[in-house]
């Protein structure tokens, strides 16, 4: 017999946690969810070790831990792992890791012998720390979903970026351009989203001993007199995509717009992009883009509404796939 003083089913409790890498994004997600970010003490010891303690009880909660893995990436990765461990040891019921940009995502396979598969290592670290579920936006390759032994929600920023392009450049003759042959499938999805636009791609050759450097490239497809939308999942140093813009303009493109999910923007990226000749450079804010890295042609779209909707669906045991018309 159930004691009438005891509740038969405990009430679900959503709690949101955020690392120190990008607290503005966590706060914006919290506003969309109409919750407050759980207070915590987080600081570095003199030798660089990280300490985290939550100021409220998390027992039995459905925990969502947000961290943007910007530079210094290893510090923020370790901090999120420590947060997950603290939640596990404090008896959180379920722990969902929200990493808008998946760290080490480019190291998803061995190109040569004696190399690591660091993307798999990151997944193993979070599983060991106590994560039950991962959520990320535009993984560098979809196979990373299989590295984590548990549910992975792979979100797309393409609908957000494509809506901006469609609204701002309606009436233009658009060609979707992949910066390399490996992104042609993504370009085809973009083309369908933009109403059947043609696609082109940049054929490029790399020297495997010189990362981030392109030896040569040429345009495959018709771009003359057209508005070219160059799409990619991330822009790091900007060399490849800035070179693609110049190549497209040299081939007679009317204008070029860059659309990418993750603005890593290391080193000379801001200078390269601002001087590339692109009409507009569009990113989402999966990673923080400080004022000193911004320039007049840059547009930054908020990813927070998407993250908030996904968190709500996961919390309510709903369907994340339905947010992407069954394609996520």
Residue 63 has a CB neighbour count (10 Å cut-off) of 28
Q: CA 305, CA 309: separation in Å to the nearest integer?
A: 6
Helix or strand or coil: residue 163?
helix
Instruction: Identify whether 11 is a catalytic site residue.
Output: no
Place of tokens 């003359």: 224
Helix or strand or coil: residue 240?
helix
Burial-class residue 75 by CB neighbours within 10 Å (0-12, 13-18, 19+): middle
Long-range contacts of 240-246 (CB under 8 A, 24+ apart): 240/179, 240/180, 240/204, 240/212, 240/214, 241/179, 241/273, 241/276, 242/272, 242/273, 242/275, 242/276, 242/278, 243/214, 243/217, 244/177, 244/179, 244/202, 244/217, 245/276, 245/277, 245/278, 246/276, 246/277
Residues in contact with 118: Cβ distance below 8 Å, sequence separation at least 6, in sequence order: 104, 107
Catalytic, out of 31, 204, 246, 293: 204
Q: CA 22, CA 225: separation in Å to the nearest integer?
A: 40
Q: What angle do CA 110, 283, 218 make, to 5 degrees?
A: 60
Give the catalytic positions in this structure.
204
């Amino acid at each position: 017999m159930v004691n009438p003083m005891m509740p038969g089913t405990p009430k679900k409790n959503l709690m949101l946690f955020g690392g120190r890498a990008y607290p503005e994004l966590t706060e914006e997600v919290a506003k969309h969810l109409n919750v407050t970010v759980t207070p915590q003490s987080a600081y570095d010891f003199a030798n660089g070790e990280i300490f985290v303690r939550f100021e409220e009880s998390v027992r039995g909660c459905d925990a969502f831990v947000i961290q943007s893995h910007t530079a210094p990436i290893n510090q923020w990765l370790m901090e999120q792992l420590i947060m997950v461990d603290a939640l596990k040891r404090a008896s959180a019921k379920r722990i969902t890791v929200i990493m808008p940009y998946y760290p080490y995502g480019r190291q998803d396979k061995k190109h040569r012998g004696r190399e690591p598969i660091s993307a798999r290592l990151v997944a193993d670290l979070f599983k060991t720390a106590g994560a039950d579920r991962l959520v990320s936006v535009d993984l560098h390759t979809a196979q990373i979903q299989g590295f984590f032994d548990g549910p992975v929600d792979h979100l797309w920023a393409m609908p957000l970026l494509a809506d901006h392009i469609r609204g701002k450049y309606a009436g233009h003759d658009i060609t979707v351009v992949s910066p390399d042959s490996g992104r042609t499938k993504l370009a085809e999805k973009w083309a369908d989203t933009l109403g059947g636009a043609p696609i082109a791609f940049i054929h490029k050759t790399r020297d495997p001993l010189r990362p981030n450097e392109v030896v040569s490239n040429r345009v495959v497809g018709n771009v003359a007199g057209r508005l070219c939308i160059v799409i990619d999942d991330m822009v790091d140093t900007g060399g490849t995509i800035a070179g693609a813009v110049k190549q497209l303009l040299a081939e007679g493109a009317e204008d070029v717009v860059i659309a990418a999910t993750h603005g890593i923007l290391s080193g000379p990226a801001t200078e390269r992009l601002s001087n590339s000749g692109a009409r507009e450079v569009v990113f989402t804010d999966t990673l923080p883009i400080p004022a000193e890295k911004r320039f007049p042609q840059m547009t930054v779209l908020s990813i927070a509404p998407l993250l908030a909707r996904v968190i709500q669906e996961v919390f309510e045991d709903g369907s994340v796939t339905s947010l992407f018309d069954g394609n996520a």
